[in-house]
Amino acid sequence: MADMRTVALPSGERVPVLGQGTWHMGEDRNRRAAEIAALKLGIDLGMTLIDTAEMYGSGGAEEVTREAIAGQRDKVFLVSKVLPSNASRSGVIKACEASLRRLDTDRIDLYLLHWRSRTPLAETVGALETLKRDGKIRYWGVSNFDTDDMEELFGIGGGKAAQANQILYNLASRGVEYDLLPWSQERGIPLMAYSPVDQGRLGRDRRLDAIAGRHGVTPSQIALAWVLRQKGVIAIPKAIQPDHVRQNRAALDIDLTEAELAELDRTFPPPARKEPLAMI
């Protein structure tokens, strides 16, 4: 198994290109032990970037994450997100403090605005910068921001301190390739791809069977390897079963040929024009 590849944030810090998502974790106590064990296994395999949010399981996913990282917090690059309804100056700070309590940590490594809100971006950025100054977060970024949103953000004082943009990106949802991905690559701002296997649907897509068969892997692994081959992109798949965790890690070692990439382009065509930013 190859070493974990990394990508540089604008700050210069390097983080794994393959992390772990926690969407829908913390919603069922009967799954809690399996969720914690899966995250721990992922950390052991080098997937030390963990993405969570106050929204997931109404804080339950952060509590699952807390148990998974207990005793090994310094190994983990921890990402969480603030809801748009908490995007005011006081709201961001209160929400972050609540997340810190649920995560039982003194800092969040990367804190993201989950999506745009009615609160002026300048106010939200000011609150994020306050959290950074106070040591409660190390970096901040955004999520579900399209190119025009990013341009607006960069026009705000302090807005260029954003370290990442988390968006929906997978073989079945390639709209960001038209302008957001190149815009981000030019500025060295990583995109964090959530639902990189389209919530499992690509794992059942028979159009991936032939390429998967040639590599001796699953269709899901081909879909994940396709995302991971893209410059400046971090993938954060979720897994609960140990085999699935290991398969996600193994996807990093799949080398898709130019012919296979061309085949995937024919099957899942890239965008020919600007499309609205897809969200789930």
> The domain spanning residue 242 has which CATH number?
3.20.20.100
pLDDT of residue 3: 83
Distance of CA 46 to the CA centre of its chain: 16
With respect to residue 235, please indicate whether it lies within any of the assigned structural domains: yes
Integer Cα distance of 265 and 252 in angstroms = 20
With respect to residue 278, please indicate whether it lies within any of the assigned structural domains: no
What does pLDDT average to over the chain? 97
Number of domains making up the chain? 1
**Tens digits of per-residue pLDDT, 58-69?**
999 999 999 999
Q: 22 phi and psi, to 5 degrees?
A: -130, 15
With respect to residue 5, please indicate whether it lies within any of the assigned structural domains: no
pLDDT of residue 216: 98
What pTM was computed for the model?
Answer: 0.97
Integer Cα distance of 25 and 147 in angstroms = 30
End-to-end CA, the chain: 32
pLDDT of residue 27: 95
**Tens digits of per-residue pLDDT, 115-171?**
999 999 999 999 999 999 999 999 999 999 999 999 999 999 999 999 999 999 999
With respect to residue 88, please indicate whether it lies within any of the assigned structural domains: yes
With respect to residue 149, please indicate whether it lies within any of the assigned structural domains: yes
With CA atoms as reference, report the closest residue to 249 among 239, 259, 260.
239
With respect to residue 4, please indicate whether it lies within any of the assigned structural domains: no
Integer Cα distance of 276 and 144 in angstroms = 11
**Domain around 233:** 15-267
Do strands 20-21 and 14-16 pair parallel, antiparallel, or not at all (unpaired)? unpaired
pLDDT of residue 2: 57
Integer Cα distance of 130 and 220 in angstroms = 40
Q: Residues of the chain whose pLDDT is less than 50?
A: 1
With respect to residue 28, please indicate whether it lies within any of the assigned structural domains: yes
pLDDT of residue 60: 96
